[in-house]
Amino acid sequence: MATQETYTGRSVRPVGNMCWEKDGKVMLRLDMPGVDKDNVDIRIENDQLIIHGTRAKEEEEKNYVLRERRRGDFHQVFTIDETVDRENVDAHMEKGVLTLTLNMQEEVKPRKVEVKAG
């Protein structure tokens, strides 16, 4: 039986996420400002796509005059089904935005059947 690892730290869901399908690929876009590309951890465990972004640690002794930004790491879990090719997931981090490309398994891609004249 699969064990589920639950993240218990203070975290926020990446805001402004966007998800779309195009050309047999599912694209995910997650805003993770302040996260370096080396601090993004993407794992696939069974049917779960787990995305964790660790923000650069700030010295706590900072004297805040105004504090509106949300704190904490970014954590998001998606359930994926068997149509997603687990071996073929691309991730790209740019300007604090993570873009994931989930490719579909070859056999579930829509196929066009040619009709031959008899």
Partner 1 sequence: MNLTNWRRGLDPVGELSRLQNDINQLFDYDYTGNGGLFDRTVSPALDVTEDTDNFTVYMDLPGVEEKNVDVSIASNVLTIKGTKELPEIGEEAKIYRQEEWEGSFQRTLSLPQSVDTQKVSAKLTNGVLTVVLPKREEVKPKQIKVDVSK
Residues that bind partner 1 (CB under 8 A): 4, 6, 10, 15-22, 26-27, 29, 31-36, 48, 62-70, 76-81, 83-84, 95-97, 104
> Which C-beta is closer to partner 1: that of 9 or that of 118?
9
Buried b (16+ CB within 10 A) or exposed e, 33-59: eebeeebbeeeeeeeebebbbbbeeee
Q: How far is the CB of 58 from partner 1 (least distance, A)?
A: 9
Q: How far is the CB of 92 from partner 1 (least distance, A)?
A: 11
Residue with tokens 């990446």: 14
> Which C-beta is closer to partner 1: that of 58 or that of 116?
58
Q: How far is the CB of 116 from partner 1 (least distance, A)?
A: 28
Contact indicator for 116, 39 with CB cutoff of 8 Å? no
> Which C-beta is closer to partner 1: that of 81 or that of 87?
81
Integer Cα distance of 97 and 7 in angstroms: 22
> In degrees rounded to 5, what are phi and psi of residue 3?
-100, 140
